[in-house]
Amino acid sequence: MKLSDFQKQALLTDRTPASTNMSADAARLIPLLGLAGEAGQLLAEYKKRLRDGPGHVLFVDRVSEELGDILWYVANLASKYDLDLEDIARQNLLKVASLYLDHDAPHRFDADYSESERFPRRFIATFREIREGARVEVWTEIDGRLVGSALTDNAYEDDGYRFHDIFHMAYAAILGWSPVLRSLMRLKRRSRPLIDEVEDGGRAAVIEEGIAAVAFDYARKHQFLDGVPDVDEALLTTLRGMGAHLEVASQPPSAWRQAVLDGFATWRALMKNGGGKVEADLDRRTIRYLGPPDSAITTAAADVAE
């Protein structure tokens, strides 16, 4: 049976159709309450299953019945909002696919630029932690070249934010996007002034730093995602919304999820080892920890980013 047919037939047994003297709000409230009630019944059946175990021999039949009742109320509510159940189902599948399935959305935003304005397809970053008393700094090299300046946590307590450049590298590797890293690596697309201003300029970099800070605050409240297999859809919506007017808007939620989870997995390894080497592969969309840094400590001043 098609969902559209089910929706039409469900209306034949509607005891509170919109044509009655009942207000539209009241007519919509009844299927909403019905949904809540049937969901409660489904939970009650599961409670019996937990209590009685195999003795609850009708468990599957009861689940089927309760799901049918839930579907009836869903169809009824859709009808009272002039919504098509098949459209709802189709849109939901697209949404869930964008959240969890791998996508081949183009992410080589600099593919048609010269080499001096393109991210390398693979690079090795080395994070070196230098401690002087209570002060801790992190210096970063990419393919043996110092980038940016020494970073501290800029906080009263040690929270590891000094390693936050790893998040920009994760965005570059998995999303193909990072105005901050593009500036640090001196790869801004100056050959196209408007792109340089909008996509690689100060506003875009501030937005990216904001994205990293929002994700960090979320992770702080969730054990820095250690053992956490997923992130809230609301977080992904917020992060994507912050960059909605930039080229990265083309990247699906699934790619953002991967960037957040893999970025923090690498960050945790850097924290555990006091630095280390990281590989970013833009073709494979991966970022991974390779191991602790060698014993050499860089003392030269970092280049000043443009």
Say if residue 94 is in the same domain as residue 228. no
Say if residue 240 is in the same domain as residue 139. yes
From 56, 74, 100, the end of a domain falls on 100
Residue 92, token pair as written in the block: 């939901």
Between the CA of residue 69 and those of 10, 36, 78, 273, 286, what are the distances in Å?
A: 10, 11, 14, 55, 45
Question: Are 196 and 189 contacting, i.e. CB atoms less than 8 angstroms apart?
Answer: yes
Q: How far apart are CA 26 and CA 76, in angstroms?
A: 13
Question: Are 84 and 4 contacting, i.e. CB atoms less than 8 angstroms apart?
Answer: yes
Domain membership of residue 296 (yes or no) is no
Say if residue 50 is in the same domain as residue 27. yes
From 100, 123, 154, the end of a domain falls on 100
Domain membership of residue 106 (yes or no) is no
Smallest CA-to-CA distance from 196 within 247, 233, 161, 267 is with 247
Say if residue 65 is in the same domain as residue 172. no
Centre a 10 Å sphere on the Cβ of residue 158 and count the other Cβ atoms it contains: 12
Residue 133: pLDDT band by 50, 70, 90 thresholds?
A: confident
CATH number at residue 80: 1.10.287.1080
Say if residue 253 is in the same domain as residue 121. yes
Residues of the domain holding 156: 115-291
Say if residue 89 is in the same domain as residue 234. no
Domain membership of residue 301 (yes or no) is no
Say if residue 178 is in the same domain as residue 30. no
Say if residue 93 is in the same domain as residue 193. no
**What would the pLDDT profile of 249-305 be if each residue is shown by its tens digit?**
999 999 999 999 999 999 999 999 999 999 999 999 999 999 998 765 444 433 433
**What would the pLDDT profile of 81-123 be if each residue is shown by its tens digit?**
999 999 999 999 988 888 888 766 668 999 999 999 999 999 9
Domain membership of residue 297 (yes or no) is no
Say if residue 208 is in the same domain as residue 267. yes
Residue 197, token pair as written in the block: 């201003």
Domain membership of residue 76 (yes or no) is yes
Q: Is the pLDDT of residue 49 over 50?
A: yes
From 39, 73, 100, the end of a domain falls on 100
**What would the pLDDT profile of 154-172 be if each residue is shown by its tens digit?**
999 999 999 999 999 999 9
User: What's the confidence (pLDDT) of residue 16?
Assistant: 84
Round the CA-based radius of gyration of the chain to a whole number and report it: 26
Percent of the chain with pLDDT over 70: 94
Centre a 10 Å sphere on the Cβ of residue 72 and count the other Cβ atoms it contains: 20
**What would the pLDDT profile of 166-191 be if each residue is shown by its tens digit?**
999 999 999 999 999 999 999 999 99
The whole-chain average pLDDT of the chain stands at 91
Say if residue 195 is in the same domain as residue 139. yes
Say if residue 248 is in the same domain as residue 125. yes
Q: Report the domain count for the chain.
A: 2
Domain membership of residue 96 (yes or no) is yes
Residue 205: pLDDT band by 50, 70, 90 thresholds?
A: very high
Domain membership of residue 108 (yes or no) is no
Say if residue 78 is in the same domain as residue 169. no
Q: How far apart are CA 223 and CA 219, in angstroms?
A: 6
Domain membership of residue 300 (yes or no) is no
Task: Kindly report the three-state secondary structure assignment for every residue of the chain.
Answer: CCHHHHHHHHHCCCCCCCCCCCCHHHHHHHHHHHHHHHHHHHHHHHHHHHHHHHHCCCHHHHHHHHHHHHHHHHHHHHHHCCCCHHHHHHHHHHHHHHHHCCCCCCCCCCCCCCHHHCCCCEEEEEEEEEEECCEEEEEEEECCEEEEEEECCCCCCCCCHHHCHHHHHHHHHHHCCCHHHHHHCCCCCCCCHHHHHHCCCHHHHHHHHHHHHHHHHHHHCCHHHCCCCCCCHHHHHHHHHHCCCCHHHHCCHHHHHHHHHHHHHHHHHHHHHCEEEEEEECCCCEEEEEECCCCCCCCCCCCCCC
**pLDDT average, residue stretch 193-211:** 98
